[in-house]
Structure 1
């Protein structure tokens, strides 16, 4: 029986490693991570490289200097220094009050105010409908959502399953057993940890989407348009 399982697994692995058929045509793909750490970009670069290797044309907008030399990938750095990964230490910020979320509350509205005045960004925005699809770094990148208006798009949650984004897309995760990414709990949860987990499930969306971050970002984007 064990040998049958091993044979099946081997077949699955070999088929996964096999070459995919060539794409129907070359597509133009825009990847947006205007507010990103190097670790976030490290999630997107394999995606960009895989698409480029398949012959697609990829444009990537970020706050980081270009790194790839792939002929099918064009990286655009908007140059704003409000979230400069070379001058901030996220691990140190996490130790401070109010921590990372307070830092983003401070930097995201100014980025939204300035981003669409950057010539390279303005040019991409005006050309957005030339692209076949847009891929957006979901975490901290609400400033890029105007690009997705009336466009097919994909969001990628770099830290893993984000229960907030999942709920927005219609898949509400049960806080009785689905953990949040701010605080870990031993599973299965007891009554106290479930109550605490429910608090985090409710607190962050209200804080982020209804009060501290998304409303001021929307206001700045509206004023910039």
Structure 2
């Protein structure tokens, strides 16, 4: 009788548990990834894939084709054509300081983001989906803040995905502190701890970002925002930005710099790295398996195509690589290769993460994009960096500082320097040993990056945007954040107190003089 009652109770509890509504396991999530880079898409789509595998219904809109073929989401391609190869060619062959490129780059990004929003595929998508169609939107951030209006359109929480460590643009969204006294900005390319001169440089770089880049970004985004989200139907962009629930950064504190983060800034460094590599294509696997001396992987990322590089430079690279006693995998998109050699295999697209996981890969020749550096660190493969633009020079500098490899100047690169760099990293075990030690540190976490991403998205869903974890700094302007209004008020009070004190002193002095004069007159009369 006891056992039967216990069984009935257990079944009742189980039925009640199963019948409970589970808000997070059935959420409709939109991933909106308008950036033109395949490597950026891999990072953003990895979040979408993790959520899809956790049981959510995920739809992804992207301007690049779906390179994550096994991603568990519904994919819609927005075939945008604004991003031109001419811009990439100019950036790598005519290098300029970041502040000079910013205006040109931002206008290019805004033009592309504008076409994405006005694209027939996008407009048709908006027409076919009602206001309550999605429970949450994940944005692939590429300075395209006016797209945040989609959250107001669908009336749902906002999650932002970013490819690298927090920058001023990202910090501003969730009130993350800058702490320029010891946290280097992206423009300063400094290493902690900062010296006095380093803090001066960091301060000036921060001033440049705040006074030039942020106003330019805000102006461009507000201009496009009102085109698609008119004032009579939607709140202002500033108000929409105050409702951002979470920012994911493809960064981990072990990479540095050490910095404070508000609860809404969550690190998911290495989200695009698979916990178990996918099987390699048969020909690639055979090529790497046969590399008894080891293999070299050569890729300048997804943005830079082989057509962007002058032929004399690619020919120089071929002449060096073809003579090495190593197997070479070279990402090459053009029909005409710079040369043919038994040790070199060209492919227009290569599964980078899976290749770097192969034990015979001994060196990665890379543009030093953040995603590439992270994957190399995770798999313990040393690097020869050829940084081209953006954050790549800073990433390459960090590779040198930490002892993970060496860096070369793309513009002045010659055959001798190219070969010497490769030989140095391959023959000197300090690079491999150092990066393998960091690989152990980088992997040591209580949860995988994908588990972290799923937990926090579901947390936002469970708590309807999780307003309780939003920093009050989001609602303050720069004067208030720096307490300049408080300092001004206290200085004014101090000035008034001093003024009153001075006036009282004058009054007391006048009275004292008056009394002294009165006593003198009385004394004279008595005499």
TM-score by length of 1: 0.75
Paired residue for 2:175, among 170, 174, 183?
A: 170
Residue 181 (structure 1) shift:
1.6
Q: 1:221 aligns with which of 218, 225, 229?
A: 225
Cα deviation, 1:138-196, whole Å, max 9, x if unaligned, reads 23222421112242011122112224322431221210111112232132111221121
Q: CA-to-partner distance for each residue in 1:16-56, whole Å, 9 max, x for gaps?
A: xxxxxx98532211112212412211211221221111221
Q: Map 1:156-167 onto structure 2 (within 5 A).
A: 156-167=161-172
1:192 alignment partner, SS class: helix
Work out whether 1:137 is the aligned partner of 2:140. yes
Equivalent in the alignment of 1:104: 105
User: SS of the residue aligned with 2:59?
Assistant: strand
Distance, in Å, in 1 between the alignment partners of 2:210 and 2:109 is 16
Q: CA offset at residue 197 of structure 1?
A: 0.8
1:5 maps to what in 2?
A: none
- Conserved 8 A contact 1:34-1:144: no
Shift of the alpha carbon at 1:219?
1.2
Name the counterpart of 2:379: none
Task: Give the match for residue 51 of structure 2.
Answer: 51
Q: Secondary structure, in 3 states, of the residue corresponding to 1:106? A: helix
- Residue 221 of structure 1 aligns to a residue whose secondary structure is helix
Q: CA deviation at 1:88?
A: 2.8
Instruction: Name the residue aligned to 2:159.
Output: 154
Residues 168-207 of structure 1 aligned to structure 2 (within 5 Å): 168-207=173-212
**Equivalent-residue separation in structure 2 for 1:147 and 1:209 (angstroms):** 22
The gaps in structure 1 that reach 5 residues or longer are 1-21
Judging changes above 3 Å, is the alpha-carbon distance between structure 1 residues 166 and 35 closer, same or farther for their aligned structure 2 residues?
same
Higher relative contact order (CA 8 A, sep 6+): 1
Give the Å deviation of 1:86: 9.8
Could you tell me whether the CA contact under 8 Å between 2:137 and 2:158 is conserved in 1?
A: yes
Change (3 A) 1:92 1:143: farther
- Secondary structure (helix, strand or coil) at the match of 2:132 reads helix
Does the CA contact (< 8 Å) of 2:63 and 2:79 recur in 1?
A: yes
Conserved? CA contact 1:55–1:72, under 8 Å: no
8 Å CA contact 1:104, 1:140 repeated in 2:
no
Alignment-derived partner of residue 62 in structure 1: 62
Determine the C-alpha separation between the residues in 1 that align with 2:137 and 2:197: 41
How far apart, CA to CA, are the structure 2 residues paired with 1:76 and 1:84? 22
Runs of 4+ in 1 over 3 A off after TM superposition: 68-72, 84-87, 96-100, 123-126
CA displacement at 1:70 relative to structure 2 = 4.2
Contact 1:108 1:217 in 2 (8 A): no
Distance in 2 separating the partners of 1:110 and 1:61: 18
| Segment drifting more, 32-41 vs 82-91 | 82-91
